[in-house]
Amino acid sequence: MILEISEHGSSLRRNHDCFIIQTPSAKTEVPAEKVDAILVTANASISTQAVVLCLEKEIQLVLADWAGRPIGRFWASTPGRTTETRRQQYKNQDTVLAFDICKDLVRKKLAGQRKLLIALKNNRSEADPKLAKSIELIGGILKKVGGLSFTGLFKETLLGLEGTAAAAYFEAISASLPVKYAFKERSKNPATDPFNAVLNYSYGIAYSAVEKIIILS
């Protein structure tokens, strides 16, 4: 499990092989063997023995801001399962396994984009040629992705196909919006229109949530 300490004035202490979480309203004791990670987002006190228990059991202790964005982590000075995990990730970054994972991620993303465009198309009283064109194009790219086999250049190939689909997707989205909210292209730093400003803000919120899950995994 992941323990999250988010109430100000809380404390984290150790009692043998258990964590004691004391909040202003309650006291909880959790065996260390049941804990995968501890996330602290509040102003809390943490005993050195609680930190030592985390290091002994290879439990990630992560300090984060109020939004859950990680600020720092405690690491053991000796190699452990976290080190081995990172080693295996590096070792497998250009393997068939990595290709299969990347391919699946791209397929799911494109399928989601196409599904949304189809929903927009079906909710319109008049046919929109840009929507139809983008739906067809993304459908074709989906087939290409599905038919790909592993090569040493799979990253570049997938990124290229994903980029082509993204351009068609956002062109269709722009065409579906009221004229005053239409945009020419994706803009990030800074956003040059209201739609991209809202989208960038939403991505920022989602990023912190996803980053927290990845770091604690």
Report residue 47 as tokens.
Answer: 């005993």
Same domain, 80 and 56: yes
pLDDT tens track for 150-200: 999 999 999 999 999 999 999 999 999 999 999 988 998 888 999 999 999
Residue 30 sits in the same domain as residue 61: yes
Q: What is d(CA 8, CA 45) in angstroms, rounded to the nearest whole number?
A: 9
Same domain, 111 and 151: yes
Q: What's the number of domains the chain is made of?
A: 2
Domain with 58 in it: 2-87
What is the model's pTM? 0.68
Long-range contacts of 131-134 (CB under 8 A, 24+ apart): 131/172, 131/175, 131/176, 133/168, 133/172, 134/168, 134/169, 134/171, 134/172
Q: How many CB atoms lie within 10 A of CB 141?
A: 21
200 and 141 in a common domain: yes
Question: Among 57, 87, 117, where does a domain finish?
Answer: 87
Q: Do 64 and 133 share a domain, yes or no?
A: no
Q: Are residues 62 and 129 in the same domain?
A: no
Q: Give tens-digit pLDDT for 10-28.
A: 999 999 999 999 999 899 9
CA dihedral 31, 36, 42, 47 (to 10 degrees): 50
